[in-house]
């Protein structure tokens, strides 16, 4: 019995080391589950009731997390809108980073007339327009239109200033709203995400400036703005 108990704890320790080397969260969770089961068996055989209770909860937590990951994977091929955002806009291919960004986004359908942010608003949301469009107003006058695969609120995110304009849904749209603080924190922690996000926002701002200049010079219709 002692030899079996020793084998279990040594095996659990080895699997825990393997878990730390795992390159995906799912593999790490499975390895930790196996390590936890080994430690649980060792505790039970050794009559260590307190440790058995602790390792039981460790195993239970990992089992729940694995179930959550499996449910997400089952549901969850990415939405077409998410693929467009990650592939075309941000160029982020790492599934783990894509999933983390998904956790920071809230998708919803919005109807014409809904106000997404108001001029002078403190910490306005960063909004990605996947489908549809939003009208941008400054001092009560329409100054442009934000269309599909464009951001709203990027200037405020970059500068830290209040919203420079009001954004109103111009037609039924599909949008994603980001958790600004969590996004900024994640971007600081992962340079690749920070670079991808900065480039995407800068490209969007540059395109809007060009369109506004064209509109001002009579070279095109007003179809840009920054909220």
- What proportion of the chain, given as a percentage, has pLDDT over 90? 34
| Mean predicted lDDT score pLDDT of the chain | 84
| 84-93, 135-144, 167-176: least confidently modelled range | 84-93
Judge contact between 211 and 161, C-beta under 8 A.
Answer: no
pLDDT above 50 (res 64)? yes
Residues 6+ apart with CB under 8 A from 227: 116, 117, 119, 124, 134, 136, 146, 152, 153, 155, 156, 163, 164, 165, 166, 167
Given pLDDT bands bounded at 50, 70 and 90, which one contains residue 227?
low
Q: Looking at residues 69-82, what average pLDDT do you find?
A: 65
**Residue 226 confidence class, pLDDT cut points 50, 70, 90:** low
The pair phi, psi for residue 117, each rounded to 5°, is -165, 160
Residue 225 pLDDT greater than 70, yes or no:
no
Q: Rounded to whole angstroms, how far apart are CA atoms 10 and 21?
A: 17
**Top-confidence residue, 187 or 25:** 187
Burial of 206 (0-12, 13-18, 19+ CB in 10 A): exposed
- Helix segments in the chain, DSSP class H: 2-20, 25-45, 49-75, 80-83, 95-103, 154-159, 180-189, 191-216
pLDDT in tens, 159-179: 888 998 999 999 999 999 998
CA distance 133 to 174: 9
| DSSP codes, 95-131 | HHHHHHHHHTEEEEEE-TT-EEE-TT-SSPPEEEEEE
Q: Record the pTM.
A: 0.61
Closest among 143, 162, 135, 133 to 213, alpha carbons compared: 143
């Amino acid at each position: 019995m002692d030899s079996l108990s020793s084998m279990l704890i040594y095996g659990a320790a080895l699997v825990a080391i393997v878990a730390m080397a795992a390159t995906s969260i799912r593999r790490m969770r499975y390895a930790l589950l196996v390590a936890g089961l080994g430690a649980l068996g060792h505790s039970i055989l050794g009559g260590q009731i307190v440790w058995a209770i602790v390792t039981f909860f460790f195993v239970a937590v990992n089992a729940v997390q694995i179930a959550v990951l499996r449910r997400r994977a089952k549901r969850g091929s990415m939405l077409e809108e998410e693929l467009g955002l990650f592939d075309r806009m941000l160029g982020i291919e790492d599934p783990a980073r894509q999933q983390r960004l998904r956790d920071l986004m809230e998708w919803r359908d919005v109807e014409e007339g809904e106000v997404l942010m108001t001029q002078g608003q403190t910490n306005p949301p960063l909004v990605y327009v996947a489908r549809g469009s939003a009208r941008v107003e400054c001092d009560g006058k329409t100054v442009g239109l934000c269309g599909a695969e464009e951001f709203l609120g990027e200037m405020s995110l970059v500068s830290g200033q209040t919203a420079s304009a009001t954004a109103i849904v111009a037609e039924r749209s599909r949008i994603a709203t980001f958790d600004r603080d969590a996004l900024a924190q994640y971007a600081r922690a992962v340079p690749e995400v920070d670079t991808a996000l900065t480039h995407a926002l800068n490209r969007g701002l540059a395109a809007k400036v060009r369109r506004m200049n064209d509109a001002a010079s009579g070279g095109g219709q007003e179809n840009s703005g920054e909220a």
